[in-house]
């Protein structure tokens, strides 16, 4: 292993009686995209905001670019770029002005013109911030995160609240940064985002990392089997479904049965016969290959919801 | 320093795009100018010169309202958070808003003085240098007061309520609307604890006691001390994050803002001659057989 550019060891944080982060550890290598995947309230934002030097930590150690965000916040800010949640710019600030203004705060900087072009904001250069659409605001936020040509980028829920088309547009932008070997830490609660964009993923829940690895490793970990998700007209039994021909495992989540199958065709035949014999019926059936969602379900018994 | 300059520049252009700002910084003060000079002062040069004190004071004091509202809005909308990601300090943010406010407020004062000169033929402006100093320290100190108010309130609503209360006190108990000598004795006593009283009185002394007077030196000094103190306190209390709440300590700090005028007020009530002096200035301005204006319309509060 090379020397990680970012390290988190046993991080803890509490807000009053609430333990938001309960011993999180991970490391990010230079040039990779690292994803923190988890439901809302899992502690993702708190974690990245501690790394950005915006929040204090209660326990553990973090280091970003060899700097301690608590002790050297100003040095750290020169090395990082970020998009935040719940943030905004003054209504009457123009797009290009914003890029130029923020670029002026750094010694090392990128040409605002080039960023404008790259993020497809040329036409909007003189538009006021409050005239931009959600997607344009997010593209501007991404462009602004790059003004100082940072060594590490943090994108906190970069596509939350955007419609699918705009989301894909943002994916394109992040994928381009990934090709350039930028080091990126992103948080998300979208499976697709983590699988598509990240080299490494840490799945977080209730302030803890419950699994870590490449998306592929994580999927394999839950068995490389096909999933059949069924809803039944009448209540069914997990044990009976599990013993069907071709089914290796079964669990019930939110009254949906998820069957793991080595041989899907046999499993489906067996399932239909079984239901007929029981006088039960299928109300829906879906077949999918394993995803990080399954990993989450297996580890927590819950779905990772939007 | 460079950050301070670019931020100031950016704030000035943002403010200029705001129509509400134009109303409060330019139109309303000028409206007040004509109301005071034309109606209350009946266009008499001496009375107009006297009333320039309150008019300029109101123009300058308006800063505190605008700045506190702006800072709270920036905090609540998460704009400050975005700035916080850049290598900027609280002092950069606050000083740039003071500087922008200064640059945008002073022209209105200059216009008021020029209008007094050209429209109402006021020829004597007394010690103009003292006037400049008073306007400068007062613009900064009242704006800093606004920054302190923004830092001890948790929401825009709270800020507006506090500004309303402070504004009315400054307006009616200080000689900024009704001349100090016309106020009831008890109000005059209370007025000695308000910064606005010293600003109005200082301006009137500077303009009416002749070109050589340094009588308002005390007012200049105290307002300058107050500016430094209030700015320092505002940097200590500054919060970037909307969810960070005001601490009890912060509220105590904020109370320290009133100290200079508490001390000065006590001293003035014991040994000072401010009430007597404003009375004689008032009488000489409104002498020559004309009766003093009675109660004036009380509605000059912005928003």
Complete DSSP assignment for A212-268: EE-HHHHHHHT-S-EEEEEEESS---HHHHHTSTTEEEEEEETTEEEEEESSHHHHH
CB contact under 8 A, B10 and A101: yes
* A41 has pLDDT over 90: no
Which of A74, A84, A97 has the CB atom closest to B82's CB atom? A84
Read off the pLDDT band of B288 (50, 70, 90). low
Around Cβ A298, how many Cβ atoms within 10 Å?
Answer: 19
Distances (CA, A) of A264 to A74, A226, A268: 56, 7, 6
* B141 has pLDDT over 70: yes
Tell me if A248 sits within 8 A of A223, measured CB to CB: yes
**A72-83 as b/e: b if 16+ CB within 10 A:** beeebbbbbbbb
Residue from B11, B85, B92 to probe the interface with A (highest A Cβ count within 10 Å): B85
**pLDDT, average across residues B167-188:** 88
Read off the pLDDT band of B176 (50, 70, 90). confident
What's the confidence (pLDDT) of residue B120? 93
E-strand ranges in A76-169 read: 80-83, 152-156
Tell me if A203 sits within 8 A of A218, measured CB to CB: yes
Contacts of B241 in chain A (CB under 8 A): 54
User: How do the domains of chain B map onto residue ranges?
Assistant: 19-285
Question: CA dihedral defined by B169, B172, B174, B175, rounded to 10 degrees?
Answer: 170
CB contact under 8 A, A92 and B14: yes
Q: Are strands A256-261 and A226-232 parallel, antiparallel or unpaired?
A: antiparallel
Contacts of B13 in chain A (CB under 8 A): 97
What's the confidence (pLDDT) of residue B300? 43
Q: Give the position of tokens 């970012």.
A: A6
Contacts of B2 in chain A (CB under 8 A): 104
For residue range B81-110, list pLDDT tens digits in order.
Answer: 999 999 999 999 999 999 999 999 999 999
Contacts of A84 in chain B (CB under 8 A): 78, 81-82, 85
CB proximity under 8 Å: B 163-192 to A: none
Max distance between CA atoms of chain A, in angstroms, equals 74
Hey, what CATH class is A225-289 in? Answer: alpha beta
CB contact under 8 A, B82 and A54: no
Which of A52, A80, A92 has the CB atom closest to B18's CB atom? A92
CB contact under 8 A, B82 and A89: yes
CA-nearest residue to B73 within chain A is A90
Residues of chain A within CATH 3.30.70.980 domain(s) are: 225-289
* A229 has pLDDT over 50: yes
Contacts of A78 in chain B (CB under 8 A): 87
β-sheet with A6-15: strand ranges across: A18-28, A6-15, A59-64
* B295 has pLDDT over 70: no
Tell me if A43 sits within 8 A of A206, measured CB to CB: yes
- Report field, pTM of the whole predicted structure over 0.95: no
Mean of the per-residue pLDDT values of chain A:
91
Percent of chain B as helix, strand, coil, to the nearest 5:
75, 0, 25
CB contact under 8 A, B85 and A86: no
What's the confidence (pLDDT) of residue A2? 65
CB proximity under 8 Å: B 231-250 to A: 240-242
Please give, rounded to a whole number of angstroms, the shortest distance from the CA of B63 to a CA of chain A.
Answer: 19
ipTM: 0.86
* B220 has pLDDT over 90: yes
CB contact under 8 A, A87 and B79: yes
Contacts of A102 in chain B (CB under 8 A): 86
Read off the pLDDT band of A293 (50, 70, 90). confident
Residue percentage of chain A with pLDDT more than 70: 98
Q: Are strands A33-37 and A18-28 parallel, antiparallel or unpaired?
A: unpaired
Around Cβ B297, how many Cβ atoms within 10 Å?
Answer: 9
For residue range A239-290, list pLDDT tens digits in order.
Answer: 888 888 888 888 888 888 988 888 888 888 999 999 999 889 899 998 888 7
What's the confidence (pLDDT) of residue A144? 96
Contacts of B3 in chain A (CB under 8 A): 104-105
**pLDDT, average across residues B48-68:** 91
* B289 has pLDDT over 60: no
Read off the pLDDT band of B226 (50, 70, 90). very high
For residue range A150-193, list pLDDT tens digits in order.
Answer: 999 999 999 988 889 989 999 999 999 999 999 999 999 998 89
CA-nearest residue to A148 within chain B is B86
Whether residue B3 lies within 8 A of chain A, CB to CB, comes out as yes
Please give, rounded to a whole number of angstroms, the shortest distance from the CA of B79 to a CA of chain A.
Answer: 5
Residue from A87, A126, A153 to probe the interface with B (highest B Cβ count within 10 Å): A87
Which of B14, B86, B240 has the CB atom closest to A105's CB atom? B86
SS3 B123: coil
Nearest partner of A235 among A252, A259, A260, judged by Cα: A252
CB contact under 8 A, A89 and B2: no
* B303 has pLDDT over 60: no
Mean pLDDT comparison of A225-229, A263-267, B21-25, B105-109, highest-scoring range:
B105-109
- CATH architecture for residues A6-215: 3-Layer(aba) Sandwich (3.40)
Contacts of A144 in chain B (CB under 8 A): 82
């Amino acid at each position: 292993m090379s020397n990680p550019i970012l390290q988190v060891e046993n991080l803890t944080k509490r807000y009053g009686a609430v333990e938001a982060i309960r011993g999180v550890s991970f490391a990010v290598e230079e040039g990779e995209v690292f994803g923190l995947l988890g439901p809302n309230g899992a502690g993702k934002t708190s974690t990245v905001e501690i790394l950005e030097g915006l929040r204090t930590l209660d326990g553990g150690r973090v280091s970003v670019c060899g700097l301690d965000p608590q002790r050297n916040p100003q040095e750290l800010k020169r090395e990082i770029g970020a998009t935040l949640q719940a943030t905004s710019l003054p209504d009457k600030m123009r797009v290009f002005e914003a890029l130029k203004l923020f670029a002026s705060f750094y010694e090392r900087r990128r040409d605002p013109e080039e960023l404008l072009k790259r993020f497809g904001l040329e036409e909007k250069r003189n538009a006021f911030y409050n005239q931009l659409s959600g997607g344009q605001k997010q593209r501007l936020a991404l462009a602004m995160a790059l003004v100082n040509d940072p060594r590490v980028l943090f994108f906190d829920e970069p596509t939350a609240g955007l419609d699918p088309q705009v989301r894909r547009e943002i994916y394109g932008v992040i994928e381009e940064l990934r090709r350039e070997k930028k080091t990126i830490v992103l948080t998300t609660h979208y499976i697709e985002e983590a699988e598509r964009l990240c080299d490494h993923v840490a799945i977080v829940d209730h302030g803890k990392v419950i699994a870590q690895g490449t998306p592929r490793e994580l999927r394999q970990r839950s068995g490389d089997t096909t999933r059949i998700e069924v809803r039944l007209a009448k209540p069914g039994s997990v044990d009976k479904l599990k013993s069907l021909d071709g089914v290796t495992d079964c669990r019930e989540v939110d009254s949906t049965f998820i069957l793991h199958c080595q041989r899907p065709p046999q499993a489906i035949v067996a399932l239909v016969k079984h239901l007929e014999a029981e006088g039960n019926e299928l109300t829906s059936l879906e077949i999918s290959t394993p995803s990080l969602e399954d990993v989450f379900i297996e580890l927590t018994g819950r779905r990772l919801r939007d | 320093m460079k950050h301070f300059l670019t931020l100031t520049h950016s704030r000035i252009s943002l403010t200029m795009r705001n129509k509400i700002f134009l109303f409060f910084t330019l139109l309303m003060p000028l409206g007040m100018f004509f109301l005071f000079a034309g109606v209350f002062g009946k266009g008499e040069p001496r009375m107009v010169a006297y009333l320039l004190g309150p008019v300029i004071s109101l123009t300058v004091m308006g800063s505190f309202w605008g700045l506190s509202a702006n800072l709270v809005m920036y905090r609540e909308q998460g704009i400050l958070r975005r700035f916080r990601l850049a290598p900027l300090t609280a002092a950069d943010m606050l000083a740039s808003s003071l500087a922008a406010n200064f640059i945008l407020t002073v022209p209105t004062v200059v216009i008021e003085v020029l209008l007094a000169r050209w429209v109402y033929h006021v020829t004597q402006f007394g010690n103009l240098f003292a006037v400049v100093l008073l306007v400068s320290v007062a613009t900064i100190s009242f704006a800093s007061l606004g920054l302190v108010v923004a830092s001890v309130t948790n929401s825009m609503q709270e800020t507006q309520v506090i500004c309303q209360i402070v504004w009315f006190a400054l307006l009616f108990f200080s000689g900024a609307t009704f001349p100090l000598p016309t106020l009831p004795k008890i109000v005059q006593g209370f007025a000695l604890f308000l910064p606005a009283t010293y600003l109005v009185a200082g301006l009137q002394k500077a303009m009416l006691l002749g070109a050589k007077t340094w009588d308002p030196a005390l007012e200049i000094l105290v307002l300058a001390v107050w500016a430094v103190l209030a700015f320092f306190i505002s940097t200590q209390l500054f919060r970037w994050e909307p969810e960070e709440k005001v601490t009890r300590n912060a509220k105590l700090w904020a109370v320290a803002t009133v100290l200079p005028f508490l001390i000065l007020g006590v001293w003035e009530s014991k040994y000072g001659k401010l009430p007597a002096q404003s009375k004689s200035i008032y009488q000489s301005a409104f002498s020559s057989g004309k009766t003093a204006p009675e109660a004036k319309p009380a509605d000059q509060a912005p928003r």
